[in-house]
Amino acid sequence: MGKVLISDEISQTALEVFSNNNINVDYRPGIEHSELMAIISQYEGLAIRSATKVTSDLIEKASSLRVIGRAGIGTDNIDKKIATQKGIIVMNTPFGNAVTTAEHTIAMMMSLVRFIPPADQSTRQGKWEKSKFNGIEVTNKILGLIGCGNIGSIVASRAIGLKMKVIAYDPFLNSKKAEEIGVEKVDLEEILSRSDIISLHTPLTEETKNIISADTINKMKKGVRILNCARGGLVDEHACRAGLENGHIAGAAFDVFSDEPAVNNILFDAPNFIATPHLGASTKEAQENVAIQIAQQMSNYLISGAVINALNYPNLSSEEAPILKPYLNLSYLLGSFLGQVTKEGIKEIKLEMEGKASSINEEPILANVIVGIVEPTSQSVNGVNSREIASSRGINFSTTKHDRRCDYETLLTITLKHELGTRSIAGTLIGGYMPRIVNIQGIPIESDFPKYALYLRNYDKPGFIGDLGSLCSKYGINIATFHLGRREAGGEAIALVEIDGGLPASILSKIRSLEQVVRADLLQFAPLGE
């Protein structure tokens, strides 16, 4: 039927699943990259964990490869852009190791507060240093979660069972879901100032990189303890070491590091620091779960073309794909706009489809709307699992089709309800395939989706465009296109300003300080799959 190579250590149950589906499998864990390059053309499927690096040069040699399956969540070791360009499906198992990772977090916390690793070492050296290892109880302590998605919510439930008070910062956690979980939703500043222990459960993005920095550490309680079983790079390791040395941080326990494998890290000889070698998903149960899941997903695809938990391809039939492709891109881009400008907890997402859009399959369209909205805070979201992720965060979603006539041949309108109000955006397809914005917040405006754009809300008063242009000119920011819309003369107005590159935070702050500006956001857009 098909032929699959497993190039990393994985539970033997995966081999059984492939065999039961009449798929030939070669098990070669630890294979050298050069040898993998030489044989990869023989295989239709490649099953991996984190060790194998699926680089662009490897993909170029993989002339027969149809699917790459990652037994786990993280896919940083796969060049997904090149895989997509080559028509190779990339799958993962986003929920298979959530419990295991959460339990490891709790284990790290208890080890840290009771000095278990150093006490063990000391005792086996023949010492009896009871007074040296005087720890603290976690009962009645405040645990602050930065990120409260699938893993974070499990950590919360375990901590509540330990009689801890749990507070959480997560832009996509709404108050209703927080109440269901049993946590208090707060902002980042409160996490920093109130928490006795801080635990990270967020993906690594441009926004979250070094979210624990020298500045944020200074805002924490003296004697705070920090846990990171999420992603390396969330913590400035040099700043953390300084905090451990000066006593502001009482202890830290990390399972992940900015550079892995971490064989020589600045934190290793820091006081009151515990390290494990990325063991968050390393339990028999988790490895069994992800092995079975990825083997079955890959088998389904190789046998019938079914796509499950793909990171670079929607769940589509062969008949629907050509018709839906431009709509999938449009819906994703519209969602991406809302996801980038919304920092509040989301309650509801509504998709309205008019004109030609009312006759197509709404399920993949809605799925890609959610992908765009959720993507800034979830590295594992895709067109297949987006609704599950939204539901886990307490977000309701719905689709309505209208037979009524509209001003455009086809029209998608998304309304997002959040804790402070609503946001909306509408878009169409020009020529049947080119995505275009036609309305934001009820204000008509026509714009494409530039790679970099300033989204501005401002007062419609003389001098705004001149002031903005002068500021951009002063700092060498080139304006490529300028799209304006307003409700009425002198009232609320919006602008989408295409610029040629990114924008330093310092300049964005200066734009926000202009007299006429109500808000300013730097947005980035890329077509679906890039």
106 phi and psi, to 5 degrees? Answer: -65, -40
Residue from 104, 231, 387, 393 carrying the catalytic annotation: 231
Tell which residue, 344, 448, 445, 503, has the closest CA to residue 511.
Answer: 503
Report the run of H or E that residue 328 belongs to, with start and end: helix 321-341
The identity of residue 3, as a single letter, is K
Residue from 207, 260, 515, 530 carrying the catalytic annotation: 260
Residue from 49, 66, 278, 387 carrying the catalytic annotation: 278
Which strands sit side by side in the sheet containing 492-499, from one edge to the other?
Answer: 479-486, 492-499, 452-459, 517-524
Based on the residue annotation, tell me whether 194 is a catalytic residue of this protein. Answer: no
With beta carbons less than 8 A apart as the criterion, state whether 354 and 411 touch. Answer: yes
Tell which residue, 210, 200, 221, has the closest CA to residue 258.
Answer: 210
Encoding tokens for residue 441?
Answer: 């917040």
DSSP 74: -
How far CA 35 is from CA of 40, 58, 67, 337, 446, in Å, comes to: 9, 10, 19, 44, 53
| Distance of alpha carbon 491 from alpha carbon 174, whole angstroms | 31
Tell which residue, 447, 441, 438, 494, has the closest CA to residue 468.
Answer: 494
Encoding tokens for residue 234?
Answer: 């969330």
3-state secondary structure of 197: strand
Tokens 């390059």 sit on residue: 37
Based on the residue annotation, tell me whether 278 is a catalytic residue of this protein. Answer: yes
First to last CA, the chain: 31
| Distance of alpha carbon 149 from alpha carbon 145, whole angstroms | 10
| Distance of alpha carbon 521 from alpha carbon 447, whole angstroms | 16
DSSP 408: S
DSSP secondary structure, 255-324, as one string:
S--SSSS-SS-TTTTSTTEEE-SS-TT-SHHHHHHHHHHHHHHHHHHHHH----SBSSS----TTTHHHH
| Distance of alpha carbon 55 from alpha carbon 320, whole angstroms | 31
Instruction: Provide the annotated active-site residues.
Output: 231, 260, 278
